[in-house]
Chains A and B, each alone.
Chain A
Amino acid sequence: MNGEYRLENAELRCHFATRDGQLWFEHFTAGKAGESFLAMPALFCSVGVGRAAGATEATADELRVHWYEPAVELQVRLAGSTLSWAVHVENPQPEAAIYFPFVAELQVGAAQKTLAGMQAFQDSFGRPIFRHVDFPLPLVKLAPEGRTLTLLPGVLPQPITQSGLEPLWSAPGIPLAESGDCLDMELILHEGGWPAAFDRFRTKIRSGFDLTQYERPDLDWYGEQLVHHFTFLYGREILNLESGQFELERFLDEGEALFGGYDGFLIWGVYPRIGVDERTQWDFYDDFPGGRAGLRAMAQRARARGVRFFIPYKPWDRSADLHGRSAGPDHEQLARLVADVEADGVFLDTMSAIGGEFRTAIDRLRPGVVLCSEGRAKGEALEVITSAWDQSFSWDIQQGNWAAGPEMLPGVDLWRFLFPEHRLFVISRHAVGDDRLRIIQRGFFSGMGWVVWQDIFGLVLTYAPDEAALLKKCRTILRQHRQALWSAQPTPLIPTLVAGVYANEFPGCSKRLWTFYNENQQIVNGRILQIKPRPGCHYVDVWNEREVEVDGEGCLHFELAPRQVGAVVELPRLLVRQPNGLVSVNESIPNATLHVRQPGIDRQASLSDLGQQSLDSLLGTSKQPIIVCLVAAGEVLDQIVVQMDEGGAR
């Protein structure tokens, strides 16, 4: 049964034809006179081989095509600038498959650039960049005149494995038995390129989640956390080996000197000791030096220094239950412990999900306690657990240790960009074969936190000086730009102008942050990223502390070292350098201070002093550039870089 069917409106013109049991695209353009997205005709859909297409019903905005043996109905709709379709399979047959060949054509389509899709996000070695791809990524095609064509799942897909997604874009057919709802698609014509396409994708995925836990004011403090420390209680980092007592202040001081400070620390003393005798994980907290009261005092002293205190929960400690000696359900014991030691957070050892009774029991006894899981909380677990470790993990044993999984840059975690409020902390898993510099860089590039773990249950793996210095630098930069870092609409892997240079974008309300990774073996210098400059703003390479030149086409000119990360920030011009060598501030900002920095010098001035002193008098006669930052609550509001001339700062 052959026929022709036209779905069209002001936005899209979609002409279909049925021929030989297949549904064809005859015409597919934006508006009446737009350029075709595909070479026409293109095969839209077929089911099996040699099956007969049956009755076809069509209206101006809807088309239904039926196949028999297997019985499949395809329903195609046009609404506004969205063409969507749904597949109804009446009797799944594993041997039969459904095909959408035009999707593959969209990816390689001639003149216009296809940006994304499963295969498109690969590094120059052909390895996938996205990690944890549990949803089908949108397929995005940059259409003529700046328009964007985006293919999205039509209904919210459940998280599924990557292997289950690949057929959507690449395989010749999808088995009808496995396809399920992921066959339902939307093809949307819109403005805004990849960031807008990714935002639609994010909105769709998030619509299936209840994210109210993330809106709790008592958990707000967690947003400030970037560097956690894994604190093995049997080691000298915190334990005085002579006295057998914990030395919190020394421990925190050393953390400040090495890494710029810890935002939180997780005490770890139950494993590997537990099991030598009958004591449960709860008993240990009575027997650590000072008992629960001692730990509570430690937590209070840490908080007074702005450092949060975490305890672990080990769901596998079941021996007391099995021996009939349990002192009560775990959620009650955990909540009691949290209250007794005044913990700020609970780390869920080995877990990636937890029963709601834990959340309820803890909330009843102590507000403001966050949950962080070792495994990735996905699906419903993400609604309860608001944070997780991001570890590369492998069960291979190398030299008596569990090996790290592959750690590759740029390595973007998809969930970081879908759920920015779900905090992820990069951790090096035992560091055997790990390149810790890469782990630190990956955390920076994707704007995540880190766990410093130097004492792996007795195996000491201290950070080398260059590793510690890199982490300190990364933490400092991200902390100074949290307003952008924790943007609700970050975009991963925005297109750059240089092959092998990757960028993520974090738009804040008054600033924008871009992080970069240069995969090349060479320095990249010059036009790297094209943006739409914002009036009244300037651009600073905060990695190298240099002003960034913006040319007439909105291209940012700066430099990236080989195999290294970088960062550029868009800042409103608040600081102005006067010809007489003074610095003035455009706006009055309460509680802001001025930081003036030059290698070896770090001075602060209050705002009222500004304009009173020239940079010359503030600083020495060094020829190093002077960095002037306007800072409020640790956030850099503006930053200028003053190059020293012969006669000093002018």
Chain B
Amino acid sequence: MNQQLPTATLTGMAQVSGGHFLYRASHRFREGGFILYDEGPRWVEVHPFAIDRYEVTNGEFRRFLAASGYRPAESHNFLRHWQGGFPEELANHPVTWVSLDDARAYAAWAGKRLPTDMEWQWAAQGADGRRWPWGMAFNPAYCNSDSSGTTPVDAHPANVSPFGVGDLVGNVWEWIDTVITDGWHRWCFIRGGSYYRATGSLWYAEGGAQPVDHHHKFLLMHPGLDRCATIGFRCVRSDGPTMSGWGTYQWAVDSTKDGLNFDD
């Protein structure tokens, strides 16, 4: 194992107290609207939980693969940025090109789970209704927004929430656990925005860092398409109940498929 991780901080979790908060999410208007979800404002209860201080990194994900033997059933675009070998220079960057199920598998292995939409917002926003982890006003120097790639998860010390959670906005979007279906579609939320901003048309999905009350409706199709260069994740852990339940996730270890092999 040749990781140079400052493990004390990168693997740590921040404690988030529970309580009632006025949940008020926003989404970008798209043709066809945004249905079957109450964006608030509404009072929700969040039970105390611990949340990863930073997104799961490439280095951490490599350890997970080595320890668990996890291989996705559908591997198209799985860790696409590792295809030339593990990118050592990205060891401290958030892992990307992982599907929601890949992320859930990691969390289950780590004895954790992915956050709910309310938990993520509460951890990022706290009680005062701020729009960015650090306050009301956006500051491009405080996060990785509108750039050409990911940065180490701890590269922006000011990108920290009232609960001490880092790198919440910009850098990469983060998977949220809740999957909603209307019988016609399956979709989930992603949070925080990313480094990438598509330009030239208003029809692109919103780019760059996004405020902490913003979530993006992400229609799920197929892991090969759903894995993105700009979506990572972080985990939470709680002993008590959460806002919404989550399942336990299992994966099939397919010994015949061993396309990825990274030494831990």
Binding site for B on A (CB under 8 A): 233-237, 239, 241, 244-245, 269, 271-279, 284, 287-289, 291, 314, 316-319, 321-323, 397, 399-402, 430, 455-460
Q: B196 near A273 (CB under 8 angstroms)?
A: no
Q: B203 near A269 (CB under 8 angstroms)?
A: no
The 7 tightest CB contacts between A and B, nearest first, are A275-B204, A318-B200, A275-B205, A457-B32, A459-B32, A316-B201, A275-B198
Give me 19 other A-B pairs in contact (C-beta within 8 A), A235-B185, A455-B184 excluded.
A233-B221, A239-B221, A241-B181, A241-B185, A244-B221, A244-B223, A272-B203, A273-B205, A274-B205, A275-B198, A276-B190, A276-B230, A277-B194, A278-B196, A287-B224, A291-B76, A319-B198, A319-B201, A458-B35
How far does the alpha carbon of A276 sit from the alpha carbon of B188 in the complex, in Å? 14
Q: Mark B214-226, 1 if CB is under 8 A from A, else 0.
A: 0011111111110
How far does the alpha carbon of A157 sit from the alpha carbon of B261 in the complex, in Å? 70
Q: Which of A245, A275, A316, A457 contacts B206 (CB 8 A)?
A: A275
Q: B205 near A322 (CB under 8 angstroms)?
A: no
Q: A277 near B229 (CB under 8 angstroms)?
A: yes
Given contacts A244-B222, A402-B31, A460-B184, contact A321 B229 (CB under 8 A): no
**What residue of chain B has the Cβ atom nearest to residue A280's Cβ?**
B198
How far does the alpha carbon of A82 sit from the alpha carbon of B201 in the complex, in Å? 53
Q: Which of B34, B186, B207 contacts A400 (CB 8 A)?
A: B34
Q: B228 near A319 (CB under 8 angstroms)?
A: no
- Can you spell out 23 A-B residue pairs with CB atoms less than 8 angstroms apart? A234-B219, A236-B183, A244-B221, A269-B221, A272-B30, A272-B203, A272-B205, A273-B218, A275-B198, A275-B207, A278-B198, A287-B222, A287-B225, A288-B224, A289-B222, A316-B200, A318-B199, A319-B200, A322-B199, A322-B200, A323-B148, A455-B184, A457-B30
Q: Which of A245, A277, A291, A401 contacts B230 (CB 8 A)?
A: A277
How far does the alpha carbon of A241 sit from the alpha carbon of B180 in the complex, in Å? 12
Which residues on A sit within 8 Å (CB–CB) of B186?
241
B240 CB–A CB distance under 8 Å: no
Q: B225 near A288 (CB under 8 angstroms)?
A: yes
Q: Is the interface of A mostly helix, strand, loop or mixed?
A: loop
**What residue of chain B has the Cβ atom nearest to residue A236's Cβ?**
B184
Q: B219 near A273 (CB under 8 angstroms)?
A: yes
Residues of chain B in range 160-192 having any CB-CB distance to chain A below 8 Å? 173, 181-187, 190
How far does the alpha carbon of A460 sit from the alpha carbon of B33 in the complex, in Å? 10
Q: Which of A244, A277, A397 contacts B74 (CB 8 A)?
A: A244
Which residues on B sit within 8 Å (CB–CB) of A236?
183-185
**Residue of B203, B207, B223, B228 contacting most chain A CB atoms (<10 Å):** B203
Which residues on A sit within 8 Å (CB–CB) of B190?
276
How far does the alpha carbon of A430 sit from the alpha carbon of B29 in the complex, in Å? 14
Q: A276 near B32 (CB under 8 angstroms)?
A: no
Q: B222 near A458 (CB under 8 angstroms)?
A: no
How far does the alpha carbon of A293 sit from the alpha carbon of B116 in the complex, in Å? 37
Expressed in whole angstroms, the minimum distance between the Cβ of B200 and any Cβ of chain A is 4
**What residue of chain A has the Cβ atom nearest to residue B80's Cβ?**
A287
**What residue of chain A has the Cβ atom nearest to residue B77's Cβ?**
A287
How far does the alpha carbon of A400 sit from the alpha carbon of B187 in the complex, in Å? 19
Q: B225 near A430 (CB under 8 angstroms)?
A: no
**Residue of A234, A245, A322, A457 contacting most chain B CB atoms (<10 Å):** A234
Which residues on B sit within 8 Å (CB–CB) of A237?
184
Residues of chain B in range 43-101 having any CB-CB distance to chain A below 8 Å? 74, 76-77
How far does the alpha carbon of A269 sit from the alpha carbon of B206 in the complex, in Å? 17
Which residues on A sit within 8 Å (CB–CB) of B196?
276-278
Expressed in whole angstroms, the minimum distance between the Cβ of A151 and any Cβ of chain B is 44
Q: B200 near A276 (CB under 8 angstroms)?
A: no
Which residues on A sit within 8 Å (CB–CB) of B229?
277-279
Q: Which of B187, B218, B220, B225 contacts A284 (CB 8 A)?
A: B225
Q: A400 near B201 (CB under 8 angstroms)?
A: no
B231 CB–A CB distance under 8 Å: yes
Expressed in whole angstroms, the minimum distance between the Cβ of A127 and any Cβ of chain B is 28
Expressed in whole angstroms, the minimum distance between the Cβ of A324 and any Cβ of chain B is 10
Q: A289 near B199 (CB under 8 angstroms)?
A: no
Which residues on A sit within 8 Å (CB–CB) of B219?
234, 272-273, 458
Q: A277 near B228 (CB under 8 angstroms)?
A: yes
Which residues on B sit within 8 Å (CB–CB) of A323?
148, 199
Q: B221 near A457 (CB under 8 angstroms)?
A: no
**Residue of A430, A457, A458 contacting most chain B CB atoms (<10 Å):** A458
Given contacts A236-B183, A458-B187, contact A272 B31 (CB under 8 A): yes
Which residues on B sit within 8 Å (CB–CB) of A399?
33
How far does the alpha carbon of A402 sit from the alpha carbon of B29 in the complex, in Å? 11
Expressed in whole angstroms, the minimum distance between the Cβ of B148 and any Cβ of chain A is 8
How far does the alpha carbon of A279 sit from the alpha carbon of B183 in the complex, in Å? 28
How far does the alpha carbon of A275 sit from the alpha carbon of B223 in the complex, in Å? 17
Given contacts A275-B204, A319-B201, contact A288 B221 (CB under 8 A): yes
Given contacts A288-B225, A458-B185, contact A400 B205 (CB under 8 A): no
Which residues on A sit within 8 Å (CB–CB) of B205?
272-276
**What residue of chain A has the Cβ atom nearest to residue B204's Cβ?**
A275
Which residues on B sit within 8 Å (CB–CB) of A402?
31
Which residues on B sit within 8 Å (CB–CB) of A314?
203
How far does the alpha carbon of A271 sit from the alpha carbon of B196 in the complex, in Å? 17
Which residues on A sit within 8 Å (CB–CB) of B231?
276-277
How far does the alpha carbon of A278 sit from the alpha carbon of B228 in the complex, in Å? 9
How far does the alpha carbon of A455 sit from the alpha carbon of B201 in the complex, in Å? 23
Which residues on B sit within 8 Å (CB–CB) of A456?
31-32
Which residues on A sit within 8 Å (CB–CB) of B216?
276
**Residue of B205, B219, B230 contacting most chain A CB atoms (<10 Å):** B219
How far does the alpha carbon of A545 sit from the alpha carbon of B242 in the complex, in Å? 63
Which residues on B sit within 8 Å (CB–CB) of A289?
221-222, 224-225
**What residue of chain A has the Cβ atom nearest to residue B97's Cβ?**
A277
Q: A319 near B220 (CB under 8 angstroms)?
A: no
How far does the alpha carbon of A322 sit from the alpha carbon of B31 in the complex, in Å? 25
Which residues on B sit within 8 Å (CB–CB) of A233?
221
Which residues on B sit within 8 Å (CB–CB) of A460?
182, 184
Which residues on B sit within 8 Å (CB–CB) of A287?
76-77, 222, 224-225
Q: B181 near A318 (CB under 8 angstroms)?
A: no
Q: Which of B76, B148, B218, B221 contacts A276 (CB 8 A)?
A: B218
Expressed in whole angstroms, the minimum distance between the Cβ of A307 and any Cβ of chain B is 21
Expressed in whole angstroms, the minimum distance between the Cβ of A348 and any Cβ of chain B is 14
Which residues on A sit within 8 Å (CB–CB) of B183?
236
Which residues on B sit within 8 Å (CB–CB) of A291?
76, 224
Which residues on A sit within 8 Å (CB–CB) of B225?
269, 273, 284, 287-289
Given contacts A234-B221, A244-B74, A269-B221, contact A459 B33 (CB under 8 A): yes
Which residues on A sit within 8 Å (CB–CB) of B173?
276
Which residues on A sit within 8 Å (CB–CB) of B200?
316-319, 321-322
How far does the alpha carbon of A460 sit from the alpha carbon of B221 in the complex, in Å? 17
How far does the alpha carbon of A289 sit from the alpha carbon of B229 in the complex, in Å? 18
Expressed in whole angstroms, the minimum distance between the Cβ of B79 and any Cβ of chain A is 14
Which residues on A sit within 8 Å (CB–CB) of B76?
287, 291
**What residue of chain B has the Cβ atom nearest to residue A289's Cβ?**
B222
Given contacts A241-B181, A460-B182, contact A274 B204 (CB under 8 A): yes
How far does the alpha carbon of A319 sit from the alpha carbon of B207 in the complex, in Å? 12
Q: B201 near A318 (CB under 8 angstroms)?
A: yes
Q: B31 near A319 (CB under 8 angstroms)?
A: no
How far does the alpha carbon of A605 sit from the alpha carbon of B131 in the complex, in Å? 73
